[in-house]
Amino acid sequence: MSKQKQQQQQTKKPKKEVTKQYEQYVKQFTPKPKYFSNSAKAFIVGGLLCMAALYIQNLLIDSGMSEKDAGAIVTVLLVCLAQLLTGLGVFDSLGKFAGAGVFVPITGFANSMVAPAIEYKKEGPVLGVGAKLFSLAGPVLVCGISAGTIIGILYYFMK
Partner 1 sequence: MDYLYAFLVGGGICLVGQILMDTTKLTTPRILVIFVVAGAILTGLGLYEPLVNLAKNGATVPLPGFGYSLAKGAMDGAKEGFLPALAGGLKNTAAGLTAAVVFGYIISLVFSPKSKR
Partner 2 sequence: MKNKLGKQTLQFPFLPRIVGSYSIVGEKEGKGPMAKWFDMILEEDTFGEKTWEKAESKMLKQAMLQALQKSGREKDEIDTVLSGDLINQIMSSSFMARDLSIPFLGIYGACSTMTESMIMGSMMIDGGYASNILVGASSHYCTAERQFRMPLEHGNHRPPSAQWTSTASGAMVLSADDKGDTAVKQGKNQPQGQKLREVYLSHATIGKILDTGIKDPNQMGAAMAPAAVDTIVRHLSDMERSPEFYDIILSGDLGMIGRDIALDLLSGRGINLNGIFNDCGAMMYDKKQDTHSGGSGCGCSASIFCSYVYDEMRTGKINNALLISTGALLSTISSQQGESIPGIAHAVAVTTKGVI
> Between residue 6 and residue 65, which ones bind partner 1 under the rule CB under 8 A?
33, 35, 38-39, 41-51, 53-55, 57-58
Residue of 45, 53, 47 whose CA lies nearest to 72: 53
* Interacting partner of 91 out of partner 1, partner 2, none (Cβ under 5 to 8 A depending on kind): partner 2
Query: Binding residues for partner 1, how many (CB under 8 A)?
Result: 75
Among 9, 12, 13, 33, binds partner 2 (CB under 8 A): 33
Is residue 55 near partner 2 by the rule CB under 8 A? no
- 136 Cβ partners below 8 Å, 6+ apart? 112, 113, 115, 116
* Interacting partner of 130 out of partner 2, partner 1, none (Cβ under 5 to 8 A depending on kind): partner 1
Residue of 96, 52, 97 whose CA lies nearest to 77: 52
Among 95, 129, 133, 137, binds partner 2 (CB under 8 A): 95
Q: Which listed range, 61-69, 86-94, 138-146, 151-159, lies at the site for partner 2 (CB under 8 A)?
A: 86-94
Residue 117 burial by CB count (10 A; 0-12/13-18/19+): exposed, middle or buried?
buried
Among 7, 15, 79, 131, binds partner 1 (CB under 8 A): 79
The answer for 64, left when phi > 0, alpha when psi is -120 to 50, beta otherwise, is: left
Convert 49-72 into a string of H (helix), E (strand) and C (coil).
Answer: HHHHHHHHHHHHHHCCCCHHHHHH
Rank residues 6 and 69 by Cβ distance to partner 1 and give the closer one.
69
* Interacting partner of 44 out of partner 2, partner 1, none (Cβ under 5 to 8 A depending on kind): partner 1
